[in-house]
């Protein structure tokens, strides 16, 4: 059992342990690089052909329209309206990343039994089922916890910075709520952490 515990601890350290963002090159390579300074300038070299703007066909397009003000749509002297010409219209693409905390309010339609229905198995009131929740009685949906896990364990962002960022978006979350939620969803990651040869009754721990 001690060997299995050691394997599990090593796996958790690899997944969630602290990692340095800087990787030092081997001593032999550092010495070679120091003896042979490169004369090549950084960035794109003068005279080389550029690759042009990167195409991004997978990004969804949100249509927007910019129009002239009403006073600009007519001649300022005689007052006659200008004529629109779609053939001269231009398009400008601007890439944006919009992240915003919001409340998804789900309307659950309800129905009452028809007065003419006398079936005993038919309830008097019927309503749509409530949404499935990752954590029972929690207001935070899956997308919230995905964002938290990615920031913490993928991008290495400190928890206090994540909480501050959410607060700036108008969503104040306490550290206790975050810690309790991570502990609640930790058992869902057991299949990814534990192999059939290293089974244990303990659950993985998310440190914050």
Query: How is the chain split into domains, by residue range?
Result: 132-208
Q: Residue 57 has what pLDDT?
A: 77
Helix (H, G, I), strand (E, B) or coil at 38: coil
Confidence of residue 178 (pLDDT cuts 50, 70, 90): very high
Of 15-29, 120-134, 160-174, 181-195, minimum mean pLDDT range: 15-29
More confident residue, 188 or 23: 188
Q: Is the pLDDT of residue 200 over 70?
A: no
Q: How confident is the model over 172-179, as a mean pLDDT?
A: 92
List, for residues 43-87, the tens digit of each pLDDT value.
Answer: 666 777 666 667 777 778 888 888 888 888 888 888 889 988 888
Interhelix angle 175-185/159-168, nearest 10 degrees: 120
More confident residue, 24 or 81: 81
């Amino acid at each position: 059992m001690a060997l299995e515990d050691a394997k599990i601890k090593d796996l958790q350290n690899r997944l969630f342990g602290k990692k340095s963002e800087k990787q030092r090159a081997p001593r032999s390579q550092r010495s070679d690089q120091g003896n042979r300074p490169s004369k090549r300038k950084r960035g794109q070299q003068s005279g080389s052909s550029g690759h042009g703007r990167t195409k991004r066909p997978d990004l969804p397009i949100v249509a927007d329209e910019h129009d002239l003000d009403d006073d600009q749509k007519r001649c300022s002297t005689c007052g006659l309206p200008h004529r629109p010409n779609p053939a001269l219209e231009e398009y400008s693409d601007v890439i944006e990343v919009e992240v915003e905390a919001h409340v998804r309010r789900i309307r659950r339609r309800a129905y009452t039994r028809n007065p003419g229905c006398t079936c005993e198995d038919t309830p008097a009131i019927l309503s749509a089922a409530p949404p499935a929740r990752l954590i029972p009685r929690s207001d935070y949906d899956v997308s919230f916890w995905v964002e938290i896990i990615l920031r913490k364990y993928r991008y290495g962002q400190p928890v206090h910075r994540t909480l501050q960022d959410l607060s700036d978006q108008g969503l104040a979350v306490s550290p206790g709520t975050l810690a309790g939620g991570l502990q609640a969803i930790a058992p869902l990651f057991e299949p990814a952490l534990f192999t059939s040869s290293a089974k244990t009754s303990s659950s993985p721990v998310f440190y914050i």
